[in-house]
Amino acid sequence: MPGAGVGQPVGVEGSGTETLPFVGRKDEIARFLEILEEPAGQAIVVSGQAGMGKTWLVNRLASIAEAHTEFTCRTTRFEVTPDDSVTSTLELILSHAKDAAESAAGFFEVTDRGRKQLKALMGLVPQGDKLTELIGVLGSEAKGHLRNKFLDVLRALSKRMPANARAIFVIDPEKLMHPESADSWRIIVKGLPPKVLFVFAQRPQDTLVSDNAFLALPNVHRVPGAADGLYTLDEPSVDEMVEFAAPQIRAPMDEVREAVARYKGHPYAVAAALGLIADGRPLDELPVDPTEERIAATQWDQVCTKHGEDAIKLFEAMAVLEEAAPLETVDVVAAVERVRRTQLLADRFLKSLVREEGDGWRIYHVILADHVQERLEKESGAEAYHRRAIVLFRESLRVSREKQSAPDALAARRLTVHVRYVDGDEAFARTFVNECGQALMTLGLLDTFINESFRILDLPELDLAMEAAVRGNLGLIHRSRGELDAAEAMHRKALKINEKLGRLEGMAADYGNLGLIHRRRGELDEAEAMHRKALETEEKLGQLEGMATQYGNLALIHQRRGELDQAEAMHRKALEINEKLGRLEGVAREYGNLGLIHRDRGELDEAEAMQRKALQINETLGRLEGMAIQYSNLGRICKDRGDADGARENWIKARDLYTRAQMPHLAEKMQGQIDGLGESE
């Protein structure tokens, strides 16, 4: 059934009534509590057909664990799809865990639920030295397969948790898991340390339920134990649901009970039938059996026959969008007027078929959403909705680029999905590289960036130039996280491909990025050589933008060497080109760099003026990293003036922005500077 926030009351939504109470599943709950008592690292598999209440039960187990009186339990939940490899899932969890371990408490109030939950999970580790040690493990580079680092992190977490603590990770596929993920999950679960519990929700045909070697592990438990998974609800549980729904039903209740009894406790069927009855569906028009497709078909028929064409378009648009989207976006994709949509969702039955999630709305259950999508596919009706989504999201990203303002997150994340449906894999890859990648990095949505990148690299017959671009971009992500060896490996792979293809533009980018890695390591001669190669290539291409970037990079090397006059001359060359091109991001960068030169000369007023110019531009662009850099620099200027309070205020802002941008090594550096202020006082 539909998910609910961990630790919140969980019920059955989409019934046509108010949210129904959680009912039944006493045996499963009792078995879960037994497993919780055991300290060994374990995994639970909750299996069952779609509509049997896996997510309903999993969320209930989580809320029970969080409320346990003898154990301190924290749960975090991740949804995966068949496209999400184990590698991308582990990347997601690890990046969130690093953020959670070192972020200010208030930050998580404005981020996604997964990261917010992980913050609570990190609360299992006592503050101070133990948490600092854990952050060190989280920040280390992976040796070998990423799952090795993941297990290292789990061991570090387990070692630092009290004996009565439990860290619970829920992996809940939207439909099915990646078909080749069983081997990796088997290795991870086999190596789980004490006090760590994984809960997997699975359909009977899903990867882990189909893997006998995984199920044979001594620390894997099936809840329930039956091979066919979750069974139907017992009669008293169904009676509870009927009694709760009764106030909205006009039909005779004895007849309602008789009609609902035919579903023999099937959770989705009972909840859906009660909703249909409350909406006036005659009892003799209810499905005769609880097949999920029959139930969804009847719900959809109710929408179509009673609620009209605009309701149909509204739900078809939500099915195509898949993710929760603002209602204004749904209006455009559905081609429905806002006033009409407001009228439709004021209806009790229609409102029950959707749920609010974050800032958007979506169809409440995958069974109904899948039914609507399948009907669209059969009738070749999906393409119009996808094309409207493409136009809307593409225009949104175009406007943000032209205005150099913060891009829309939904457009950056979802444009490629709709392009892939309409125009295929090649167009999907091209759209990601040319239109979405930079927007995702600007917004700090590195999880999506990584997942999409791996999906492109997994494409059959991937164009070599595209592979080089994707690997180069992944190198940027590794560098932003301080993973310099991994970043260098990616850029060298990209450079090798570009040299083979003779792609000067790609070679210039790779030279420049390798130069940045060398500079980060303090290898200034190697860095200068790479940047000069990049500049020479950009000059051959006549690319002013690239030339400006390399002038700025060479200036920073002069700056590191204390050659301030040469550095200033290079920065001013870069600034002149960026101003000529109207590249606000480049203008901001050079203002900031010139501010650093003024500071090195002791010209603090001029330094502050330059940093504030840069900050104002980055605020307009919504660039988290740029804003963090400027606050960091302003903090140093305050410190030079002896203004410890001003330095602390600016550095706290910088730390929080670096955290939001998923750059934990720089957030950690800021925290060190803040702590250093306290020591000096």
Tokens of 338: 């806002």
Percent residues over pLDDT 90 in the chain: 47
7, pLDDT greater than 80: no
Flag whether pLDDT at 663 surpasses 90. no
Main-chain phi, psi angles of 75, to 5 degrees: -120, 140
User: How far, in Å, CA of 321 to CA of 635, rounded?
Assistant: 44
* Domain closes at, from 200, 222, 244: 222
CA 236 vs CA 199, 243, 267, 283, 320: distances in Å: 27, 11, 13, 21, 38
Asked, for residue 314, whether it belongs to a domain, the answer is: no
Confirm whether 192 is domain-assigned: yes
Q: Tell me which of 166, 192, 222 is where a domain ends.
A: 222
Q: Are 19 and 281 in contact (CB under 8 A)?
A: no
What mean pLDDT is predicted for residues 623-639? Answer: 93
For the chain, percent of residues with pLDDT exceeding 70: 87
Question: Hey, how many other C-beta atoms are within 10 angstroms of the C-beta on 47?
Answer: 24
pLDDT, mean over the chain: 85
388 part of a folded domain: no
- Is pLDDT at 361 greater than 60 in this prediction? yes
Position 228 scores a pLDDT of 63
pLDDT higher at 574 or 120:
574
Q: Give Rg (Cα) of the chain.
A: 28
Answer yes or no: is 15 within a domain.
no
Q: Of 65, 39, 107, which is closest to residue 652 (Cα–Cα)?
A: 107
Segment 387-407 shows an average pLDDT of 91
CATH value at residue 84: 3.40.50.300
d(CA 572, CA 89): 44
Report how far apart the first and last C-alpha atoms of the chain are (Å, whole number): 56
The domain total for the chain is 2
Query: How much is the pLDDT for 117?
Result: 64
pLDDT tens for 266-312 read: 888 888 999 999 999 999 999 888 787 888 999 999 999 999 999 99
Domain boundary among 207, 222, 237: 222
Please check whether residue 114 lies inside any domain of the structure: yes
Q: Which residue has the higher pLDDT, 221 or 91?
A: 221
Q: State the average pLDDT over residues 400-414.
A: 86
Confidence of residue 544 (pLDDT cuts 50, 70, 90): very high
Give dist(CA 385, CA 325) in Å, integer.
14
Residue 47: which of 267, 220, 203, 186 has the closest Cα?
A: 203
Apex CA 203: angle with CA 199 and CA 205, to 5°?
A: 125
Residue 398 has pLDDT above 80, yes or no: yes
Encoding tokens for residue 347?
């209806």
Q: Is residue 371 part of a domain?
A: no
**pLDDT(546) > 70:** yes
pTM (global) more than 0.85: no
Average pLDDT value for residue range 403-428: 91
List the single range of 145-154, 318-327, 536-545 with lowest mean pLDDT. 145-154
| 21-25, 108-112, 352-356, 431-435, range with greatest mean pLDDT | 431-435
Give the pLDDT confidence score for residue 142 in this predicted structure: 57
Confidence of residue 48 (pLDDT cuts 50, 70, 90): confident
Is-contact 159 6, C-beta < 8 A? Answer: no
pLDDT digits (tens, 9 = 90+) for 212-229: 999 999 999 988 766 567
609 vs 359: which has the higher pLDDT: 609
- Judged against a pLDDT cut of 60, whether residue 106 lies above it is answered with no
Q: Please tell me the distance from the alpha carbon of residue 283 to that of residue 658, in angstroms, as a whole number.
A: 58
Evaluate whether residue 376 is within a structural domain.
no
**Per-residue confidence at 440, pLDDT binned at 50, 70, 90?**
confident
pLDDT at 248: 87
Phi, psi for 52 (deg, rounded to 5): -90, -5
Mean pLDDT along residues 615-624: 89
- Residues with Cβ < 8 Å from 680, sequence gap 6 or more? 644
pLDDT average, residue stretch 157-179: 85
In a domain, 55, yes or no: yes
pLDDT, average across residues 485-495: 94
Report the CATH number at residue 634: 1.20.58.80
Q: Quote the pLDDT of residue 288.
A: 85
Range of the domain at 69: 26-222
